[in-house]
Amino acid sequence: MFHDKARIYVEGGHGGNGAVSFRREAHVPRGGPDGGDGGRGGDVVLVCDPSRRDLSALRYSRHFKAGRGEHGRGKQQHGARGEDREVHVPPGTTVEGLEGERYDLVRPGQRVVVAAGGSGGHGNKRFANSTRQAPRFAERGLPGESGWIELRLRLLADAGLVGLPNAGKSSLLARLTRARPKVGDYPFTTIDPVLGTLDDGMRQLVLADIPGLIEGAADGAGLGHEFLAHVERCRALVHMVEIDPPEGAPTPEEAYRIVRGELAKHGAGLAELPEIVVLSKADLVDEERREREVAEWRARMGEGAVVLALSAATGAGIDRLRQELFALVPETDEARTPLPDEPEFEVEHAVYRPTGRQGFDVEVEEEGVFRVHGRGIELLFERHDLENPEALSYLEERLREIGVIAALERAGFEPGDEVRIGERAFDLDPR
């Protein structure tokens, strides 16, 4: 079964902790601190893999966690970086990231980080200075990014075969290419998109057989609504209409109107794609009627419209359609054309902006209780052990340097009041 949607949980690796260590060697008195830094956690990376056809593998393995960074060690040995976790997806996969970022994987080998690993903690060697010569504290590593992300596959095809159920799309694809879609004399024979390659010796075009659309498909009716998104990447459409529909079925004009209406309602520029109208199953009518129908359709659609009558059963008109397809789809070196209203990007950058002018805000939650907001301040406290007196002294020093102590005092703080930062609460008595 073809799977074009997946929801997976990704988690970057936890950063390694910094080490608290002192150099101890014979004949080296007062060796001093030599704790190394922890390694950064690994990233969860999506990789565009042309050997993959759909997202079915992600329906059974949905949790992906990168490796943890190694802890620092003595002798200033830094921990190794955690191992990345690669998740292979087929070309044409779009991703809704953790913070609403949107990625589009279309080129083989293309990579994108969807969950970055946490940074490693500094060892005690980093905190040594002229007044703190033997620090007995180090930083903890930080957790990596984590959460659920959405993946959606939209097939990379140059031209899409669209039409009502049983219009002859699968038979045409089998006649034009080496694809072997299921063919039957009943509606909804095709329930999954099928790709085929058309080759003229100089160029190749990829054709997609889209499951039949019915009226209301854009609103969720029938089977075809699940696959309208696959048409978005096409650069042209082959709109198939039965030249002589069975009794009780929509007339050719009605069938054309229904499908065009659903394409327009779906949006994404589908109604503006160049189109070839194919009157299918032309072997069921005589030559005079075929010529009359083609002339009437061309007159109705206006100058420049491409209308063909063909038969997949006999092969009549197939060569002409092949020529028109290569003429209609322009040569391009791009793997795809950008989707309408889709932002193009080269590199995604995460930008962190301070919440206030100083990068933090102070809020009075209740009498004697103050909360400090600011991602940088919260990360600073996540890195340190509040049970370690030296670490607390260092944090107080940093709060004074950053300006947090002064901001608290302006808000009415008095020594001994409770301060809350993130999930941590403590009594602060600055000297």
Residues 269 and 204 in one domain: yes
Domain-located, residue 352: no
Tell me the mean pLDDT in the region 379-385: 91
Tokens coding 231: 């048409």
- Three-state DSSP at 292 gives helix
Strand order in the sheet with 418-421: 361-366, 369-373, 418-421, 424-427
Domain-located, residue 415: yes
Distance CA 335, CA 340 (A): 16
Asked if pLDDT for residue 218 goes beyond 60, the answer is no
Residue 194 makes CB contacts below 8 A (sequence gap 6+) with 170, 173, 179, 181, 208, 209
Domain-located, residue 225: yes
Residues 300 and 188 in one domain: yes
Q: How many structural domains does the chain have?
A: 3
Residues 7 and 85 in one domain: yes
Using one digit for the tens of pLDDT, what is the confidence trace for 333-349? 444 444 434 444 444 44
Domain-located, residue 284: yes
Question: Could you tell me the pTM of the whole model?
Answer: 0.69
Using one digit for the tens of pLDDT, what is the confidence trace for 246-267? 888 889 999 999 888 888 887 7
Tell me the mean pLDDT in the region 101-130: 93
117, 134, 153 — which closes off a domain?
153
Q: Comparing 51-55, 81-85, 127-131, which segment has the lowest mean pLDDT?
A: 51-55
Residues 57 and 95 in one domain: yes
Domain membership of residue 374 as a residue range: 361-427
Please state the φ and ψ torsions of residue 135, each to the nearest 5 degrees: -65, 135
Residues 148 and 165 in one domain: no
Residues 132 and 163 in one domain: no
Q: Strand 369-373 to strand 361-366: parallel, antiparallel, or no bridges (unpaired)? A: antiparallel
Distance CA 99, CA 44 (A): 15
Residues 164 and 128 in one domain: no
153, 180, 200 — which closes off a domain?
153
Domain-located, residue 334: no
Residue keyed to tokens 């002229």: 130
Within 10 angstroms of residue 155's Cβ, the number of other Cβ atoms is: 25
**Cross-strand pairs, 242:** 280
pLDDT band, residue 2 (cuts 50/70/90): low
CA angle 189, 335, 193 (to 5 degrees): 10
Asked if pLDDT for residue 147 goes beyond 70, the answer is yes
Q: Looking at this protein, which amino acid is placed at residue 152?
A: R
Tokens coding 24: 């101890």
Q: CATH no. for residue 231? A: 3.40.50.300
